[in-house]
Each structure stands twice: as structure tokens, then as C-alpha cells.
Amino acid sequence: MTGPPRLRPEDRPDFDAVLRLAMGTAEIRTALSAGPGGRAGDRLRSRALDAADEIAAAAGPEYAACLAVRAAGRRAAAPRPATGHHTLLPALAVLTPVVAATSATFLLLFGYTLRLADPTAALPGSLVTAGWVFAAVAAVSTLVALAALLRTAVRERGGPPTAERVEQARLDWRRALLARGMPPHLNGYVREELPHAPTHTPRTGPPCSD
């Protein structure tokens, strides 16, 4: 069983912004003001940055959702090279039923016409047999093409995530980080740095987007 995802380097600025919001609450400021020399805030921030992965784990589900939406958006925006392999398969999927159906129609009509003219000849029977083979190929290839189209439609039904969805997932993670990740750790650090300072659970609101 895997744990929560580790904090990505590109998300460190968001973590730092949420940390500043948490340290700016009245309770934390009051506790830090009791520290001698005014360096308690710097030590508190340094400890929180060093423990970023541990703190971020408290908002692990929201962070995993944020990463998933962001990755889906990047995949949708990435250009796809038009290689021969990728362009040949769709063409075959479209052309195979058409060619097979056309060949089946021609062979069956020609074979049955020759059979009416000469029922004892071997060629009409071979043409009719070949015609039915092509008819089967046309039917199977049509079903395969329809199944591929249906699978693509189901996979892309939701469409790629919009920029608004990506930003909303980011804000949801920041809110969860501020609500569940920062308070217990910051209060714990304050108690260790300033054992006689009063600490409370910060009453924080949702962080603002940058």
C-alpha cells in the first residue's frame, strides 16, 4: 500500500504560501511574540519547510487529486506526433470494411450470375465462396471499428480537465493543507520552541490564490 504522494518541487511555493498564512494567524503570532530574541518565527518556518512532506501528508487525498487533474490536463494539451503507426491504424479501420464489402458485393453478384449461365462450372462456386468470405471480413471489421469508436467515446466522455478544474483542485489542496496539515504541526513546534507560550488551533479560512 503506497503512502501519500511526496510534495513536488513545483508545489513548494504553494506550500510556502500556505505556511505564511498559517503563521500569520493571531494565535501563532501571539505565541511567537513571547519568544526571546524574535527568532522563534524563523526557526518555526525552517522546521516546517524541512518537514514539508510530513505536513503535506495530512492533505494527501486532495494533493493526489490535484496531481491527477494536472497530469490529465498536461496530457490533453501535449501535442501528439503523427507517426505512421498512429495514422495507419485509423485508415485501415475505416477502409477495411468498405473494401471488403465492395469486394463481397462484386464477387457474389458475378458468381451468382455465372452460376445461372452455367450451373456446372467451377468458377462461379469459387467466386461465391470468396464473396461470402469478404462479406464476413466486412462484418467483423465493422464491429471492430464500432467497438473502437465506442471505447474512445467512453474514455473521452468527460473531456480533458479545464483550467478552472485544475485551479480548483489546487485550491482544494491548499485549503486542506491549511485546515489539517499546518495547525497540529505548527502548534507542536511552538510547544517545543516555547513551552510556556499559549497555543490554540488556528481559526483559518480558505487561502487566497496567488
Q: Of residues 209 and 34, which shows the higher confidence score?
A: 34
Does residue 84 have a pLDDT over 50?
A: no
- The whole-number pLDDT of residue 36 equals 65
Assign 3-state DSSP to the chain and report helix, strand, coil percentages, each to 5.
75, 0, 25
Does residue 20 have a pLDDT over 90?
A: yes
Q: How far apart are CA 204 and CA 178, in angstroms?
A: 7
- Mean pLDDT value across residues 22-46: 82
- List C-alpha distances in Å: 106 to 19, 100, 111, 123, 131: 75, 10, 8, 14, 7
- List C-alpha distances in Å: 170 to 28, 56, 57, 66: 25, 13, 15, 6
Asked if residues 176 and 22 have their Cβ atoms less than 8 Å apart, the reply is no
Which one-letter amino acid corresponds to residue 184? P
142 sits in the region (left: phi over 0; alpha: psi -120 to 50; else beta) called: alpha
Q: What are 138-157's pLDDT values in tens digits?
A: 788 787 767 766 665 555 55
Among 122-131, 157-166, 172-181, 201-210, the range with the most confident prediction by mean pLDDT is 172-181
- The whole-number pLDDT of residue 37 equals 62
Does residue 113 have a pLDDT over 50?
A: yes
Q: How far apart are CA 32 and CA 113, in angstroms?
A: 99
- Mean pLDDT value across residues 27-41: 77
- The whole-number pLDDT of residue 79 equals 64
- The whole-number pLDDT of residue 147 equals 72
Q: Which residues contact 21 (CB under 8 A, 6 or more apart)?
A: 178, 204, 207
